[in-house]
Chain A
Amino acid sequence: MSVTVYVPRDAAALALGADATATAVEAEAKRRGEDVHVVRNGSRGMVWLEPLVEVQTPAGRVAYGPVAPEDVPGLFDAGFLTGGDHGLGHGPTDQMAWLKGQERLTFARVGITDPLALDDYLAHAGYRGLKQALELTPAEIVAQVTESGLRGRGGAAFPTGIKWDTVLKAEAPQKYIACNADEGDSGTFSDRMIMEGDPFALIEGMTIAGRAVGATFGYIYVRSEYPHAIRALRSAIDTAREAGWLGNDIRGSGTSFDIDVRVGAGAYICGEETSMLDSLEGKRGMIRPKPPLPAIEGLFGMPTAVNNVVSLASVPIILDRGAKYYADYGVGRSRGTLPIQLAGNLKTPGLVEKAFGVTLRELIEDYGGGTASGRPPRAVQIGGPLGAYFDESHFDLPLDYEELSENLGIVGHGGIVVFDDTVDMAEQARFAMEFCGIESCGKCTPCRVGSTRGTELIEKIMHGEDKSTNHQQLLGLLDVMENASLCALGGMAHLPVMSALRLFPEDFGLEASHVE
């Protein structure tokens, strides 16, 4: 009887040698005359264990990792094909503490199925959401999404249902779904993991979105730095189309929807929705003023629902299990779950999907396992390069849009980057400004000139040049950038800088009293 062995095809696993491991497993099986079928799955999100090899046994899947090619003969010797004990073994995968405590709704299939196999997708609750949606009117679908409490997971946290309602009510000869897959925040990878590990979920979510708002075409705007995701999406879109899940008259429902993948050209700013629309139209990615909202006047001037990958991939389960099922997770106005991406100086980083309300301490200490360096953690940046820093006094904060906002931070796209006590927070603040300068589209003056001046001012402060004057000038600049910038790039650059100044004035050589 053939034994199924899973070796991930996820880019993080590939970077850690998963291809060589897969080849070694196949070669060793052949050498030993064992009937082994290797499936290239998505990643379970336990990045420190990649390449994580799983064996399907009658008692369930058993995990081994990280498996290097040279470990493979030893695994065969230990009888890993029947779940035998080995130094790299972790026992049954779904019993591993790191996975067991998670609430995987959006990531339910990631790491479990063959991402490119439609039958595997269908066997794991795939397309059940769309089947439900095809029975509902567009307004009923929108109502479900609104009731679920789903908010934009790209970072802006705008209620998805309200956005869809605006597009649904807009009258136009053509409407679009534009999926923002330009995941550029430092320390984030949840969009990539969905696209590589469960592309049909995104396709299904977009199709439901299309039916909900009356759009017949969708674009996925993927950053060029994600070649594996691009290939996976294109393959899955072709498969879905051949099987009648995309195209005209989907499964005889009368609903038509199709998708094309567009590749970005390396600009962080094209992750901002209006800039992304410009880029999709073949133009230089520049910020458009709002209004008009993209929901009214978006791609090619038509009403467009612009949604993040995780938002759209969360829609199928909402339609399948009902709005209430999803909304029962979470706290306050932050409903459902968030795929949190743990990165930076952590022992056991990776993807943790939890209901909103999980504390930073649980994430950093329990899931993250503390710092990889073993030194005390000093700062945590949440929500990407323009997110605020927090110190240990904030570790009991629950992850919740409103709670973080009250504490002068953002959830953003759910990326958490941890730094130990060797971090120089003045340098981090300087880098935030420099990043803003490098990635500024150059349209509005507060961001175009301000980001460069901000970098220079922080450098002057770091060098001890007219500290007090330059500090005052910096505060004035941050105020102008926050309140006068055209978009969130310039408008949020104050968050990392101000939080670093407020929490770690000593790194700038400033007295705490100066920065109150």
Chain B
Amino acid sequence: MWNEIRGLREGVDYGTPPRQGQPVTLTVDGVEVTVPEGSSVMLAAVEAGRAVPKLCATDMLESFGSCRVCLVEVEGRRGFPASCTLMVAPGMEVRTQSERLTQLRKGVMELYLSDFPEAEIADGWSEFHRTLDDIGIKTHGYGTGRVHFDLPVDDSNPYFLFDPAKCIVCSRCVRACEEVQGTFALTIQGRGFDSKVAASQDDPFMQSECVSCGACIQACPSHALVEKSLFSGGYERA
């Protein structure tokens, strides 16, 4: 019903929320597409059947621009803007695929892989794993280095758990908590490589302001936040 109201097709993630406005026509990989003014290039690409890989974007949340895998090329413009934060413009010519884009996307995914448990890569079926498949990369060349694997699993909540080892710090959970639920229980703590998802003042979920609504579980693209019912018996890290 929600998608009907928003005029979206069921089962399709447009990446950014729909907008209302004057029609704007552009081309994505040569395919002409018309979307309302204020729409993202990412949404236009989905409409054109030329969906761009993404991680931090989902159409129930405002665009954020942090994962940098949805980069595109725009004719007559330098650089590689993120399609989620780039607004459509009349006559814009967007390219979603090129050798250069693949090279950069692979480079970005390599960075994610360098801080993701290797044993969790092969059989995963999360959005993160699908993105790895789309971009065509499964390994990284960084060797050993700092990782977040030693952070403890938070299983304090009876319904879900949080495994920071699988967290890609896309902030979708934090934003869902704010934008969808209005609870503001989650935040990003620390900066740079130390940035991590924290509930309230870095409390266990159960002791935090979390109301167990599940919006973060729905939003998480990498199964770092996941329902306990998926695991018969206990959760074990691979």
Interface residues of A, Cβ cutoff 8 Å to B: 267, 269, 284, 289, 291, 437-453, 456-457, 460, 466, 469-470, 473, 476-477, 479-480, 483-486
Contacts and interface: CB of A to CB of B under 8 A. Distances in A.
B68 A445 contact: yes
B146 A291 contact: no
B115 interface: yes
A437 B171 CA distance: 19
Given A442-B195, A449-B114, A473 B108 contact: no
B143 A460 contact: yes
Contacts of A483: 79-80, 104
Given A442-B191, A452-B146, A483-B79, A289 B68 contact: no
B141 A473 contact: yes
Contacts of A446: 68, 107-108, 111
B222 interface: no
Contacts of B193: 437, 440, 442, 448-449, 451-452
A442 B141 contact: no
B139 interface: no
Contacts of B63: 289
B188 interface: yes
A473 B114 CA distance: 12
A484 B143 contact: no
B112 A445 contact: yes
26 contacts: A267-B191, A269-B191, A289-B65, A291-B86, A437-B193, A438-B192, A439-B192, A442-B192, A442-B194, A444-B65, A445-B108, A445-B168, A446-B108, A448-B169, A448-B193, A449-B112, A452-B193, A453-B142, A456-B146, A470-B143, A477-B111, A479-B104, A480-B108, A480-B111, A483-B80, A484-B71
B66 interface: yes
Nearest to A439: B192
A269 B136 CA distance: 33
Contacts of B168: 445
B215 interface: no
Interface in B67-87: 67-68, 71, 79-80, 82, 85-87
A472 to B, nearest CB: 8
Contacts of B80: 483-484
Contacts, number: 107
B190 interface: yes
A484 B104 contact: yes
B67 A445 contact: yes
B145 interface: yes
Contacts of B171: 443
Given A441-B191, A446-B111, A452-B192, 18 more contacts: A269-B191, A440-B193, A442-B188, A442-B191, A442-B193, A443-B65, A443-B66, A444-B66, A444-B67, A445-B67, A445-B68, A449-B111, A453-B111, A473-B142, A476-B141, A479-B104, A484-B68, A484-B107
Nearest to B196: A442
A457 B66 contact: no
A184 B168 CA distance: 29
Contacts of B114: 449, 453
A456 B145 contact: yes
A445 B222 CA distance: 15
Contacts of B66: 443-445, 486
B169 A289 contact: no
Given A284-B188, A451-B193, A484-B71, A445 B82 contact: no
A477 B192 contact: no
Contacts of A450: 111
Contacts of B71: 484
Contacts of A437: 192-193
Contacts of B112: 445, 449
Closest 9 CB pairs of A and B: A442-B195, A480-B107, A289-B85, A440-B192, A289-B65, A449-B111, A452-B193, A456-B145, A484-B68
A485 to B, nearest CB: 7
Nearest to A481: B107
A476 B114 CA distance: 14
Nearest to B114: A453
A453 B193 CA distance: 10
Contacts of B110: 480
A453 B169 CA distance: 16
